[in-house]
């Protein structure tokens, strides 16, 4: 599925960026600090200029029964890049969404195109399946590199405590533990 060496590249990239940002190799990553380092602005709908209160309410509708249908979008205007996050989602979800969007930029994937119809409907062009899978893997690696997972297991942290410490969901934590083989390593 991935090109040879991709997963190793992700681990090395995550470690390199942690070092540059002053985080330990297995310390939690501040995704917003990474975005700033990459020159990418991070907004929520509240930061969008001239957005009507009606539009804001629609974008942030999250009644618990029907979760909002969008998570994040990357907009590129000239040399400026902004990621807009759905602030009605949990902090863990926002961190995952942000690192996913950053992963697309890091890997040089084509930014989503925004088309506005004559009646004002916004349409987005998606990334292809391979690019989405790359962004998913790199995002997980940025938030929970293998060294962090090993550290979590060595410290015998509970899943909820580890997820809280790293600012991720328990689901993301379990996925990374399973997919990296760290769970098998600590049986």
Rg (CA), the chain: 17
Q: At what angle are helices 91-106 and 129-143 packed, to 10 degrees?
A: 120
CA distance 150 to 33: 24
| Residue 117: both structure tokens together | 């119809």
Residue 43's nearest CA partner among 56, 62, 58 is 56
Query: CA 21 to CA 33: how far, in whole Å?
Result: 8
φ and ψ at 77, to 5 degrees?
-125, 110
* Length of the chain counted residue by residue: 187
| Cβ-contact 27, 18 below 8 angstroms | yes
Cβ atoms of 180 and 149 closer than 8 Å: yes
Q: How many helices (H) and strands (E) does the chain have?
A: 9, 5
Q: Give the separation between CA 52 and CA 123, rounded to whole angstroms.
A: 19
- Report yes or no: 86 and 69 within 8 Å, Cβ to Cβ: no
Give the other-Cβ count within 10 Å of 131's Cβ.
Answer: 16
Q: Distance between CA atoms of 103 and 135, rounded to whole angstroms?
A: 5
> In this predicted structure, what is the pLDDT of residue 63?
66
Q: Give the separation between CA 25 and CA 68, rounded to whole angstroms.
A: 34
* 187 residues of the chain, pLDDT tens digit each: 899 999 999 999 999 999 999 999 999 999 999 999 999 999 999 999 999 999 898 888 876 665 557 899 888 888 999 999 999 999 999 999 999 999 999 999 975 556 566 665 555 557 788 999 999 999 999 999 999 999 999 999 999 999 999 999 999 999 999 999 999 999 8
Strand partners, 114: 124
Residue 39 tokens, joined: 């020159």
């Amino acid at each position: 599925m991935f090109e040879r060496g991709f997963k190793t590249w992700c681990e090395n990239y995550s470690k390199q960026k942690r070092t540059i940002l002053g985080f330990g190799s297995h310390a939690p990553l501040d995704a917003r600090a990474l975005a700033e380092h990459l020159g990418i602005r991070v907004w929520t709908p509240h930061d969008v200029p001239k957005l009507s209160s009606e539009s804001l309410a629609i974008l942030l509708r999250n009644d618990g029964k029907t979760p909002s249908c969008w998570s994040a979008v990357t907009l590129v205007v000239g040399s400026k890049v902004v990621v807009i996050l759905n602030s009605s989602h949990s902090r863990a979800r926002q961190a995952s969404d942000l690192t996913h969007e950053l992963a697309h930029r890091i890997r040089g994937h084509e930014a989503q195109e925004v088309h506005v119809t004559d009646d004002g409907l916004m349409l987005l062009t998606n990334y292809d399946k391979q690019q989405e899978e790359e962004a998913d893997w790199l995002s997980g690696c940025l938030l929970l590199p293998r060294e962090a997972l090993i550290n979590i297991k060595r410290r015998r942290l509970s899943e909820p405590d580890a997820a809280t410490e790293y600012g991720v969901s328990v689901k993301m934590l379990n996925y990374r533990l399973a997919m990296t083989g760290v769970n098998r390593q600590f049986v």
